[in-house]
Every structure is written in structure tokens, then in C-alpha cells.
A and B are shown apart, each in its own frame.
Chain A
Amino acid sequence: DSGVTQTPKHLITATGQRVTLRCSPRSGDLSVYWYQQSLDQGLQFLIHYYNGEERAKGNILERFSAQQFPDLHSELNLSSLELGDSALYFCASSVVRVSYNEQFFGPGTRLTVL
């Protein structure tokens, strides 16, 4: 158990809908990262938050947004969903923003868009 929790574990929805994925980092970790793993793909970095502030963006679509709350949990919002958004979404956390620290991953949320 990495200490990172993600809910829900599975999510099935229809095209055009909006969903919210939730992540709680390990206790004491200030950084939260979101990654997407599509079929046959490695993990693609989406966005990084540090202590409530957005720090870096990767291959995140404009239909997607995220935030990190004062209690450090984070939410990833996906809107106008398309079939291609079906993927595993992982959240990871680490202690500090700039340090050689490994990231600890949650179990992921499997999103299926029908």
C-alpha cells in the first residue's frame, strides 16, 4: 500500500458526460501528479500540483482540469468525454517540489467511456 488513495476505482459513463476523479496523497506529501495510461501506452504525465498551486502541465487536454485543495487532496475533472478518454488514470504524490524524490502511485481509476 503506497498510502495514496484514489476514488472511484472504476467509472463507466457515456460520451459527452463529465466526471471527477479524486486523489488523496500520502500524509505529508505536498506534490500531486496525474497520469493517464491508455491501452498499450506508457503513463503520460497530465499535470502537477504543489501545495495547492499548479506547477507543470503535460499532455493535458483543454477539456480536462485539475485542482489541489487546502487539505492537499486533488481532483481531476474530465468533461465532454470522448471514447478515446477511456484509460487508467493514476495519481502520484511526493514530498517536495524540487528534490530527487520518487513518486508514490495510487491504485488508479479505470474510466470507461461508452
Chain B
Amino acid sequence: DQQVKQNSPSLSVQEGRISILNCDYTNSMFDYFLWYKKYPAEGPTFLISISSIKDKNEDGRFTVFLNKSAKHLSLHIVPSQPGDSAVYFCAASADSGYALNFGKGTSLLVTP
């Protein structure tokens, strides 16, 4: 069963605007969440993470928000750039350092 869900397979945003990628999870034991970015023919690259003791983490243009009561997290990219076009995976872990549970990914296209 899919414990991490990314319900939007794709998203298109204009350059300079905000991109919001969403992720839902079902396992209340998850305590660490990560976002990975993947370009074609490459492995996933770590982008940003958040612990369940926080509700927001910011790194430059990237901010991750966590709503534990709703079991929902989101990644905000502001401003979006064409180089951000990639597949974004949400991942979660129930015990840090162990297996990551991935969503199926959202393909982001940032148009000039």
C-alpha cells in the first residue's frame, strides 16, 4: 500500500511564480520527511527535509511545510526557475536512517 501519496502527477508553472508541490501520508509513525529532485537519467538528489518536531523549514528558494494533524506536507519554490523543471519526490521515514518511503513523484515544468 502506498503510504506516501503525491496526487498530482504533473504541474506547470510560469517562471518567477510560486510552485507548490503537495504530499500526503498515512503512517502516523513517520517522523522525518524529505524532498528529492530527479532529472532524467540521474539519481534523486536531496533537496530539503523536515523533522516532525517542526512545521516549517526553509532553504533559499525552497520551503517545506508540515501539517501533522492533516498528515500533509508541501514544498514551495519561490521564485520558480526553468532549471527547477524535474520530477520531485516526497519521502518519509519512521525511524531515521532507515528506509525511505517514496511517493510516485510530481513532474514540475517551469516555463519561461
The interface residues of chain A, by DSSP majority, are classed as loop
Which size class do B's interface residues fall under? 20 to 34
- Binary interface profile of A, 43-68, with partner B (CB < 8 Å = 1, else 0)? 11100100000011010000000000
- Binary interface profile of B, 48-92, with partner A (CB < 8 Å = 1, else 0)? 010100000000000000000000000000000000000001010
Contact B95 A98 (CB under 8 A): yes
Least Cβ–Cβ distance between B38 and chain A, in angstroms: 9
Counting CB contacts under 8 A, is A106 at the interface? Answer: yes
Question: In the complex where A40-B104, A41-B104 touch, is A108 in contact with B99 (Cβ < 8 A)?
Answer: no
Counting CB contacts under 8 A, is A42 at the interface? Answer: yes
Contact A43 B99 (CB under 8 A): no
Contact B96 A98 (CB under 8 A): yes
Counting CB contacts under 8 A, is A78 at the interface? Answer: no
Contact A105 B96 (CB under 8 A): no
Least Cβ–Cβ distance between B94 and chain A, in angstroms: 11
Contact B43 A48 (CB under 8 A): no
Contact B43 A4 (CB under 8 A): yes
Question: In the complex where A100-B49, A102-B46, A104-B46 touch, is A43 in contact with B102 (Cβ < 8 A)?
Answer: yes
User: What separation, in Å, do the CA atoms of A101 and B57 have in the docked complex?
Assistant: 15
Closest-by-CB residue of B relative to A37 is: B102
User: What separation, in Å, do the CA atoms of A90 and B101 have in the docked complex?
Assistant: 14
Question: In the complex where A98-B96, A100-B49 touch, is A45 in contact with B101 (Cβ < 8 A)?
Answer: yes
User: What separation, in Å, do the CA atoms of A88 and B24 have in the docked complex?
Assistant: 24
Contact B34 A107 (CB under 8 A): no
Interface residues of A (CB under 8 A from B): 2, 4, 31, 33, 35, 40-45, 48, 55-56, 58, 90, 92, 94, 96-108
